[in-house]
Chain A
Amino acid sequence: MGASRKAATISVPPYRKNQFRLLPYLLLIPSMTVMVIFIFYPFINSVRLSFYATDSMGHAGTFVGLRMWKKVLTSKEFRDSLIITLKYCGSIGVGTFALALILSYISVKMVKGSRIYQTMFALPMALATAPMASIFAYIFSKYGIMNAMLGTNNIWLSGKTLFPVVVFIVIWANCGPSFIYLLVGFRNVPNELLECAELDGVSPLRKFFSLYLPIASPQVFFVIFLNIITAFKSFTMIKILVGTDDSPLSTLLVKLYKYAFERERYETGCIYSLILCLLVFLVSRVQFYFEKKAVFYQ
C-alpha cells in the first residue's frame, strides 16, 4: 500500500493542468450562495421592482414600465433630495479629508507616546454611531453643554445651524479611517529623503507639498473618494439627530428609508436606491480615472 502510493505520487504531480476537480467549486459554494442570495439577486430585484407597482408585501403587481421612474425623477422632492445629498457629501468629503490630513500630518513622527494620540485620533471609528449621535444630541440640545459654553440659547439641530452642525458631527465620526490611511501613506516617506530635506533647510510647508503629498498620493486619492462614498451611505446620524419625517436633511438614503420602510412603497424605494448606487458607481469611476492619471507610484 505504502509503496504503491509513493510510486503514484512520483509519477503524478499533485496539480495536473486541465484536470477537472470538483473540490474548488464545492468550497466556494457557501460564500457564493450567500452572495447570490443577498447581494446579486437583491440588486437585480431592485431593478425589476422599479418597473412594477408593488403591494405591501413587496410582491411585484402590475407592470408600469418607466412610469414610476418618470414620476420620481421629475418630482421636486427628488431634485431637492439630490441637491441636499450632493451638498452634504461634498461638505463631508472636503471636511473629513482636511481634518484627517491635519491629524495625520501632526502624528507622522513616531516617538515615545505617539501611540497615545494616534489611538485617540482613530478612536471614533470604533464608536457606534447611534450612541455617539445620542451624546451629540445632548451636547447640541437646548440645555446642552454647547449652549452652556457659548452662553447662547440656540436650538442647534434646527433651522440654519442644522446642516453645519450635522456635517461637523459626521466629519468627526468619519475621520478615523482616513486618518489611518493617510498616516500609513505619510509614514512611507523614506527617512533618507527627510534627512536630506532637513540638511537642505527645506521649510515644513515645502516638505509637505513636495515630499509627503506625492509619496502618499495613492492614499490621498483613496481617502478623498472613500469619504464621499461613506457620506452617501450615512444614515444613522441623520435618523437620530434630525429624523426622517420631512426632515430638512432628506438625503437619497433617507428617502429610500421613508418610502420603503415607513410607507411600504417598495418600488419608489428601489428607484431611490438605484440612483444612490449609480452615484456611488460614478464616484468610483471618477476615482479610477484620477488614480490612473494623477497617482504617483514609487
Chain B
Amino acid sequence: MLAKYIARRLLASVVVVLGVTLITLLLMDRTRGAYVPGIDFNPSLRPEDIARLRADLGLDRPFYEWYLSWIWGVLHGDFGHSMIDGSTVMSHIVDRLPNTIELTATAILIGMVVAVPVGVIGALRRGSKTDHALTVVSVAGFAVPQFWMGLMLILIFSVTLEQHGLPWLPSSGAYSPFNGGDVLDRLQHLVLPATVLSFFYVSTWSRFIRSSMLEVLSQDYIRTARAKGMSERRVVYLHGLRNALIPLITLIGLELPGLVSGGLVVEVVFGWPGIGRLAFERALQYDYSTVMGVTFFATLLVIAGNLLADLLYGVLDPRIRYG
C-alpha cells in the first residue's frame, strides 16, 4: 500500500520536474536573447572561436534540442558546464551547498528551540498577558521584511558598535578572508544571518504549536489522563506536547526547499556564499546552465520535502493511512 503510494507520488513528481525545468529553460531562452556575456563580449576571442564555444555550449541549437540533451545529461548525473567560467555546475553546487546547509540548519535549530517553548507557554496560559505579548511578537514577525531586519542588525551590531569602538559582529561572508575560517570565526559570521532567518521560523512555528497544543489539550485522551490522576506536568508534556509536535514535522519538511530559495534574500544581504546567492548572481549573468542545475536541484528538494513530510506524518500518527 505504502510502496504503491510512494510510487504514484514519485511518478507525479516526474511530470512536475519536467514542467519546472521546461518553464525555467523557456524563460532563460527568451531572456538570454542572442548572446552570452562571457563569450560574445570577450575582446580576446576571435569570431570563429566564439562560434566554436557557442557550439560547444549548444547555443547554436534550438532550445528544445538543448533541453533534450540537458535532460539526457542529468539522467547520467551530468549537469553540464557553467557558461561563465566553464567549470561544472555540479562543482558550483557542491561548493556552495555546505554553506547554505550551515546557515539553514542553524536557523531551523534555533527556530525550534525557541518556538516550541513559546508555543507551549502561549497555549497553557491562553488569554494571559504573556500569551498576548507573544502573539504580538509573532504577528510582528510576519510583517518584518527579512532583508530590512538584516540591514537593521548590520546597522546596530556591525556599524554602530564599530563606530563606538565596541566589539562588533561581521556583516558579510561566511568567514574572514584573512586568517579566518576557524570555528569561532565562522560562528561570529553566522550570528546575524541565522538570527534573521530563525526569527521568521519562530513567528510561524510558535503560532502553529500554540494552536496545535490547544487542540490536543481539548482531546478526550487528555481528559482521561487527567481523570486517572496523572500530574499536570506529565499530562502536558508526555501526552500533550508529543502529539502537538506531530504537525510541526510537516512544517519543517516543507521548509526543505527553503534550503535553496528561502534563504536567498538573507544570503544576498549578508553576502553569504550559499546556493541561493549563486542562483541569483548567475541568473543576472545569463548563466543558464548553472541556473537550470540549481532550479532542478531546488525542485527536487521541494518534492522530497513534501513527500518526506507526508511519510513522517504517517509514521508518527498511525491514524493516517495512505490510499
Q: Do A and B bind each other?
A: no
